Chains A and B, each alone.
Chain A
Amino acid sequence: MNTPAVLGSVGHGSLVEARGIYKAFGQTPALRGANVTVRQGEIFAIMGPSGSGKSTLLHCLAGIFTPDQGDVLFDGQLVNAMSEADRTKLRRTAFGFVFQFGQLVPELTAADNIALPLLLNRTKRKVAYKTASTWLDRLGIGDKGGRRTGELSGGEAQRVAVGRALALAPKVIFADEPTGSLDSLTGEKVMDLLTDLARQQGATVVLVTHEARVAAYADRVAMVRDGIVSFVDLPTVPASPAVAKGAN
């Protein structure tokens, strides 16, 4: 079903929105009129097969890529009309990022990596490191602050990445395959932390994944196919222990 869905509109709690965006890399189209609305405070998953355009959509929503056509809005502001400097500032102050391989600085310690965005944002060194220490405790790796991230396990490194993304209290966290390099149990723990902490902070999460188990953490799920958002589903059945019958 390749009919693009027209979804929601600004003014209904929408925080991030793509309106009919097109993006091509050379002659290869990645997005062909994608529409999506992410609401304030929700966890929103973007799924799709490999090469469907889901990561490109996330990069456009996060202001990393500029769409060839169409608009991206954040909190009512046209992101694609901003200067590069303003978009950089937006990414640094309002957005947090978690990628598949963490993209931490391996030569720096876990505490350094979490403190880094705060220091770049001109937070005082002492405050930045105190904040980093608090986050390391919340992430259950309080004893690993002095370790270089290259020496951490995959799960520990991803926790540091979650801490780094949340340290600046961003409005939106963009996560691209955040559990892609982790085993099931470690991935689950990272997702529990990411979603719990984001909810506690009131942050919105936009998540790209090809794993249904990861998408299942989301409040709504969008499916991208051939560069188009083919459907968005809102779970309507409230969670109930009776559902576990299906597991029998």
Chain B
Amino acid sequence: MSVPLTLLGLLEREPSHGYDLKRDYDAFFGRGKQLPFGQVYATLGRLARDGKVIAGDAEPGGGPDRKRYVITDAGRHEVDAWLIEPVEPEPHLQTVLFAKVTLALMLGKPASAYLDTQRAAHIRRMHDLTEIKRTGPLVDVLLADHGLFHLEADLRWIDLTSARLTELAEAVRNR
């Protein structure tokens, strides 16, 4: 999650104060982890320095949250470019689990049991995400979907690895 680009995107919607930006960020993207005020103002300061936003004059009142920020054309272009660019399709290889399975096979320990344990944990998490989908707002549904598809991909890897354990054990022993 890119905080500067997300804040910039929120500013493209409408000019805002730092406080309002933080509130919207937490509501839509925070997922239980709040963005510190300090990070909001530091980010806005950098965006202003780089010409992506313009900070209005400080409005009467105390505290730092008295400036209204407006996105510039350069900021708008940056948001557009970011939105259009595909996210790096990183493989979600279960590196820790892979290490455990390989080590278990080397040591003659029950690799399939580790995979079963992991499978159970994945299904449990999928169950929780499914419950969220059944009761949550659409934003949560979409995020839960994202999690579910990734967990499902991991599970398919776990299933395939389970089916290949004998082959893998032989490969590990023969190295």
B48 lies within 8 A of chain A by Cβ: no
B83 lies within 8 A of chain A by Cβ: no
Residues of B contacting A212 with CB < 8 Å? 122-123, 126, 151-152, 155
Per the 8 Å Cβ criterion, residues 157-175 of B in contact with A are: 159, 163
Residues of A contacting B113 with CB < 8 Å? 1
CB of A247 within 8 A of CB of B146, answer yes
Categorize the interface residue count of chain B. 35 or more
Per the 8 Å Cβ criterion, residues 96-139 of B in contact with A are: 110, 112-113, 116, 119-120, 122-136
CB of A233 within 8 A of CB of B1, answer no
CB of B134 within 8 A of CB of A223, answer no
In the bound complex, how far is the Cα of B120 from the Cα of A109, in angstroms?
Answer: 42
Categorize the interface residue count of chain A. 20 to 34
Contact pattern, B 52-89, Cβ under 8 Å of A = 1, otherwise 0: 00000000000000000000000000000000000000
In the bound complex, how far is the Cα of B134 from the Cα of A245, in angstroms?
Answer: 17
CB of A213 within 8 A of CB of B140, answer no
Per the 8 Å Cβ criterion, residues 1-21 of B in contact with A are: 1
Which of A218, A243, A245, A247 contacts B33, CB < 8 Å?
A245
The minimal Cβ–Cβ distance linking A76 to chain B, given in whole angstroms, is: 29
Contact pattern, A 196-216, Cβ under 8 Å of B = 1, otherwise 0: 100000000000000111011
Contact pattern, A 217-248, Cβ under 8 Å of B = 1, otherwise 0: 11001010000001101011111111111111
CB of B131 within 8 A of CB of A244, answer no
CB of A248 within 8 A of CB of B131, answer no
Given contacts A213-B126, A233-B124, A244-B143, contact A192 B134 (CB under 8 A): yes
Residues of B contacting A223 with CB < 8 Å? 116, 119
Residues of B contacting A150 with CB < 8 Å? none
In the bound complex, how far is the Cα of B131 from the Cα of A177, in angstroms?
Answer: 20
A49 lies within 8 A of chain B by Cβ: yes
B147 lies within 8 A of chain A by Cβ: yes
CB of B131 within 8 A of CB of A239, answer yes
CB of A247 within 8 A of CB of B144, answer yes
Residues of A contacting B38 with CB < 8 Å? none
The minimal Cβ–Cβ distance linking A159 to chain B, given in whole angstroms, is: 17
B148 lies within 8 A of chain A by Cβ: yes
Which of A192, A233, A245 contacts B32, CB < 8 Å?
A245
Residues of B contacting A215 with CB < 8 Å? 123, 126
In the bound complex, how far is the Cα of B91 from the Cα of A96, in angstroms?
Answer: 42
Which of A233, A240, A245 contacts B120, CB < 8 Å?
A233
Count chain B CB atoms within 10 A of each CB in A196, A212, A238 and give the residue with the most.
A212
B31 lies within 8 A of chain A by Cβ: yes
Residues of B contacting A217 with CB < 8 Å? 127, 130
CB of B124 within 8 A of CB of A236, answer yes
Listed from nearest, the 6 A-B pairs whose CB atoms lie closest are A247-B147, A239-B131, A216-B126, A247-B143, A233-B120, A216-B130
Which residues of A are interface residues toward B (Cβ below 8 A)?
Answer: 1, 49, 188, 192, 196, 211-213, 215-218, 221, 223, 230-231, 233, 235-248
Q: List 10 A-B contacts (CB under 8 A).
A: A1-B112, A212-B123, A213-B130, A221-B123, A243-B128, A245-B32, A247-B129, A247-B144, A247-B147, A248-B1
